[in-house]
Structure 1
């Protein structure tokens, strides 16, 4: 948690910096319980207490007490035969509630599909979550092998500091927000803070100059352009397009796909504004 500015209340600082800040510490027990839930990712069907302890680095007795509480609260289901835990159907209800609260994804999906299918590219709409970007809507129509095989759908997480989607978001943040995120992003990626800031600065300059930023998610294979938009629900989203091409064609293809991106952004904003 970032330090508060002297003489300014934490709530006031939150309003000024746009970074959530409180003077008092949060609930450690709740934070540990949420760490258990974060251990469930795509491909993980169920986890035992021992597996959860290993994944979260929490003591087994602590994990046992937390999983009991999470089962009683309806967040986890217990598999008697396997003696393991699974995410409950409650998460599908929470997902539905989230989608209803963010209608922009429903507006964007058909527009993204129309463009992606026609031009044979990939399009995505995402929101930040801690150090990652989470896709709310995606369309995968790229002809390359990676686009056809790599699973990217609503709910997929991608690293903020390594993708055009995430860098466009970082480029939109103020200094206080970056000061909060950059050290953690650098630590996770195993690079220096200066390296992360250099990437963000490059994208910030691109956004100011041309309205979008670029990145290579998979060097020499998958290239992307991304921008941000503030929709009618007053939320900021990252909108991206990715494609594959030969290295010598990259500059021209980036410009061409940037035109698609800007038009898609205009179409989404126009559709979102309709009653």
Structure 2
């Protein structure tokens, strides 16, 4: 007889304090991605893994509250101004953006790359600040863009910096979402952990996109804010691994340390 498996933590839906209807409504809002203007109930249902009838009730409620706007001509939905108010309120209160931006811009100019500040949202890192160099050869990602935790340098930096319990929980979720890709993903994460210990940064050289290279470093902003990370990235033909590690890496570490030190405690 095999050993008894350890009991798993209760899922959110098993928690009596967890409001499922609210969670589903927020999941609908989270379906909208950067660059997408409208989504249909069918598309929302597929992304949320919910019945279309349930999604229809949610979109109607969210529309009445101003979080969605119904487009009569197409029958589709777009994010409403209530979402803009929430996002704007959060961004204006993120003092770390004001502190980080001048240093990030200097780093962008020095490297000829895009420099981004990100925070984790589920299985992604979402950019809350972004600076570009004057060079034409930079990425066009902007505030609100999402990067995958497992394959991007900024996501790997977050994984390398958080505690073992939080990291293991996220890695378990990544594995459950894509079991077939997990061995390759796990190898990339394990390698990034070694990079973080050796270089002080995580790397993604063609792992997120074949023609994109990047390095990143995480930090704790304090004041109850979640772990954040700064990424330097761009086209691989403009940013070689050697240049990023030899020239950019020391400056990135200096910038991140300076941001962390400048945060009010």
TM range, normalised to the smaller chain? 0.7 to 0.9
Q: Within 1, Cα distance between the matches of 2:111 and 2:238?
A: 19
Q: Which ranges of structure 2 fall in alignment gaps of 5 or more residues?
A: 1-6
Deviation per CA, 1:188-233, whole angstroms, max 9, x where unpaired?
A: 4554544433333322222223322222145664322211112253
TM-score calculated relative to the size of structure 1:
0.79
1:226 aligns with 216
Q: Within 2, Cα distance between the matches of 1:140 and 1:128?
A: 21
Shift, 1:262, TM fit? 1.3
Equivalence map 1:49-64=2 (5 Å): 49-64=41-56
Distance 1:174 1:248, change over 3 A: closer
2:143 to 154, 173, 197: 154
Q: Could you say what secondary structure the match of 2:32 adopts?
A: coil
Count of residue correspondences: 256
2:102 aligns with 110
Partners of 1:103 and 1:233 within 8 A in 2: no
Q: Within 1, Cα distance between the matches of 2:161 and 2:94?
A: 20
Q: Could you say what secondary structure the match of 1:161 adopts?
A: coil
2:90 aligns with 98
Distance 1:234 1:34, change over 3 A: closer
Q: Do structure 1's residue 66 and structure 2's residue 58 form an aligned pair?
A: yes
Name which of structure 1's ranges 214-223 and 204-213 shifts more when overlaid on structure 2: 214-223
Name which of structure 1's ranges 246-255 and 220-229 shifts more when overlaid on structure 2: 246-255
1:163 aligns with 152
Q: Within 2, Cα distance between the matches of 1:196 and 1:220?
A: 15
Q: Do structure 1's residue 200 and structure 2's residue 192 form an aligned pair?
A: no
> Which one has a larger percent helix, Structure 1 or Structure 2?
1
Q: Within 1, Cα distance between the matches of 2:123 and 2:101?
A: 24
Partners of 1:142 and 1:243 within 8 A in 2: no
Q: Within 2, Cα distance between the matches of 1:27 and 1:248?
A: 46
Equivalence map 1:105-184=2 (5 Å): 105-141=97-133, 143=135, 145=137, 147=138, 150-184=139-173
What is the alpha-carbon root mean square deviation over aligned residues? 3.0
Q: Could you say what secondary structure the match of 1:3 adopts?
A: coil
Q: Within 2, Cα distance between the matches of 1:207 and 1:95?
A: 32
Q: Within 2, Cα distance between the matches of 1:46 and 1:242?
A: 29
Q: Which ranges of structure 1 fall in alignment gaps of 5 or more residues?
A: 5-9, 11-19
Q: Do structure 1's residue 240 and structure 2's residue 231 form an aligned pair?
A: yes
Distance 1:140 1:189, change over 3 A: farther
Q: Do structure 1's residue 3 and structure 2's residue 11 form an aligned pair?
A: no
Name which of structure 1's ranges 252-261 and 40-49 shifts more when overlaid on structure 2: 40-49
Q: Within 1, Cα distance between the matches of 2:87 and 2:109?
A: 26
Distance 1:119 1:46, change over 3 A: closer
